[in-house]
């Protein structure tokens, strides 16, 4: 791994002006990348709350947003890139209207973008940056509560895949006093009309959720990191698994190694897939699916024989917080990257600061080995700050949130604190 220092002189603030950024402000741009890769900051910040990226065929970047109490409503940001890979101009549209869903993709030249309740389609005339035509409603009626963000992508046969998360962390019985040990509802009502994956026809407008879609998967807690793999011919997603298990069920799962073994699970989402939430979780140390403590589990008790839950194809450490998934279909990177998966880890956090930091705050790469996804490996480190102590929510300088592959095969990465955007390229030189 080599360090790629990104200087302030290369930064261009695209909102029509060029801005010099102090070296101190860019101190966290000491990315650690594999040999032969290089990073440059192409935008110092499109705005707090920036989430996912979609790249148009002409190279324009479209960045979704997740408005919060501490982040302004910025809608969708468009960054027009020049041939020198520097921004020419930046514009925004759909401010206050298309945000909080974060999902954003191009399909057959049109931009599909989600709020927490609606998926819109934007069409373009010529090379316009901002679509002049009014957006069309593709699907409306998503829950819009609980874990609000939707995941979105398209296969090679004309289907649009949408992941819809659950309502909360676990499916606890509200009638059980908060001072008592939580008890899970059986069956969990959140598995009806949400907590799963649906397919829709992307060419048909004004569809209603869930009536006009087909549900293909269930047992999803929270999963916005989704993508179709052309190499593996399947739809994949990385689920953010349960939080606070050791705190709520200390007699079953202890703080430290036990809690850290509750995986962030990556699944292939074929029709009939059941990811097991809220009744179970996958334990990385035991290499087994374990019964959740609110359903009678003790931290080691496996699920009942005959229970048809899916087995993850890849597992990541607890609380890495996967936010985006992109399969590499480009040709610029070396052949060992072709068809593999980049997973953007937003990073964990808590009430206190961990001296060694939380998991995540990086971009992981999962190669394809013998036709299957292999072992994850670090790809982009150092995004949070100069050392591991910056991998703490309140302290971090950047929280990676999205990635996208450009037409030339380079990789764009965005973070959400300022909306900073990096371009990672490969030339084989150290």
> What is d(CA 121, CA 26) in angstroms, rounded to the nearest whole number?
36
ω into 207 cis (within 30 of 0): no
Handedness of CA 177, 264, 363, 108 (dihedral sign): negative
> What is d(CA 290, CA 294) in angstroms, rounded to the nearest whole number?
12
CB 361 within 8 A of CB 378: no
Question: Regarding beta strands 341-345 and 362-366, do their DSSP bridges make them parallel or antiparallel, or are they unpaired?
Answer: antiparallel
Identify the H or E element spanning 32: strand 30-33
Q: How confident is the model at residue 27 (pLDDT cuts 50, 70, 90)?
A: very low
Q: How confident is the model at residue 255 (pLDDT cuts 50, 70, 90)?
A: confident
Helix (H, G, I), strand (E, B) or coil at 257: helix
Pick the closest to residue 403 from 285, 206, 238 (CA basis).
238
Helix (H, G, I), strand (E, B) or coil at 119: strand
How does pLDDT run across 105-164, given as a tens digit for each residue? Answer: 999 999 999 999 999 999 999 999 999 999 999 999 999 999 999 999 999 999 999 999
> For all residues of the chain together, what is the average pLDDT?
91
Angle at 403 between CA 272 and CA 351, to 5 degrees: 85
Residues contacting 211, CB < 8 A, separation 6+: none
Give the lowest-confidence range in 27-41, 194-208, 368-382.
27-41
As a whole number, mean pLDDT of residues 176-198 equals 95
ω into 278 cis (within 30 of 0): yes
Query: Residue 202 region, left (φ>0) first, then alpha (ψ -120 to 50), else beta?
Result: alpha
As a whole number, mean pLDDT of residues 326-336 equals 97
Q: Which domains does the chain have, with CATH numbers?
A: 2-426 (2.120.10.30)
Q: How confident is the model at residue 29 (pLDDT cuts 50, 70, 90)?
A: low
Task: Give the global pTM.
Answer: 0.92
Q: What percent of the chain lies above the pLDDT cut of 70?
A: 92
> What is d(CA 31, CA 58) in angstroms, rounded to the nearest whole number?
27
């Amino acid at each position: 791994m080599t360090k790629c220092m990104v200087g302030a002189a290369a930064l261009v603030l695209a909102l029509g002006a060029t801005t010099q950024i102090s070296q101190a402000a860019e101190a966290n741009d000491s990315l650690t990348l594999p040999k032969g890769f290089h990073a440059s900051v192409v935008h110092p910040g499109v705005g707090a709350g920036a989430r996912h990226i979609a790249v148009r065929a002409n190279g324009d970047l479209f960045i979704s947003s997740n408005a919060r109490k501490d982040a302004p409503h910025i809608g969708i940001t468009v960054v027009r890139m020049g041939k020198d890979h520097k921004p020419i101009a930046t514009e925004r549209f759909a401010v206050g209207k298309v945000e909080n869903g974060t999902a954003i993709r191009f399909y057959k030249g049109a931009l599909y973008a989600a709020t927490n309740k609606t998926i819109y389609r934007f069409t373009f005339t010529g090379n316009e940056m901002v679509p002049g035509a009014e957006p069309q409603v593709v699907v409306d009626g998503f829950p819009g509560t609980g874990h609000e963000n939707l995941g979105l992508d398209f296969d090679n046969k004309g289907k649009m895949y949408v992941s819809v998360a659950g309502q909360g962390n676990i499916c606890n019985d509200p009638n059980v006093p908060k001072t008592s040990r939580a008890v899970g509802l059986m069956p969990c009502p959140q598995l009806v009309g949400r907590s799963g994956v649906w397919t829709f026809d992307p060419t048909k407008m004004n569809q209603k959720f869930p009536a006009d879609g087909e549900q293909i998967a269930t047992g999803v807690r929270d999963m916005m990191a989704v993508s179709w793999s052309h190499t593996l011919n399947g739809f994949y997603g990385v689920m953010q698994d349960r939080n606070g298990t050791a705190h709520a069920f200390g007699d079953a799962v202890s703080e430290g190694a036990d809690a850290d073994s509750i995986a962030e699970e990556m699944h292939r989402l074929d029709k009939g897939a059941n990811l097991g939430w809220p009744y179970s979780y996958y334990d990385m140390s035991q290499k087994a699916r374990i019964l959740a403590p609110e359903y009678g589990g003790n931290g080691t008790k496996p699920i009942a024989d005959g229970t048809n839950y899916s087995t993850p194809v890849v597992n990541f450490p607890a609380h890495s917080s996967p936010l985006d998934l992109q399969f590499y279909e480009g040709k610029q990177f070396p052949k060992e990257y072709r068809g593999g998966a980049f997973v953007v880890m937003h990073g964990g956090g808590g009430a206190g600061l961990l001296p060694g930091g939380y998991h995540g705050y990086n971009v992981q790469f999962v190669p394809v080995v013998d036709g299957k996804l292999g072992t994850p490996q670090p790809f982009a480190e150092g995004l949070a700050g100069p050392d591991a102590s910056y991998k703490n929510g309140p302290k971090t300088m950047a929280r990676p949130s999205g990635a996208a592959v450009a037409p030339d095969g380079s990789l764009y990465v965005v973070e959400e604190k300022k909306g900073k955007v990096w371009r990672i390229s490969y030339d084989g030189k150290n």
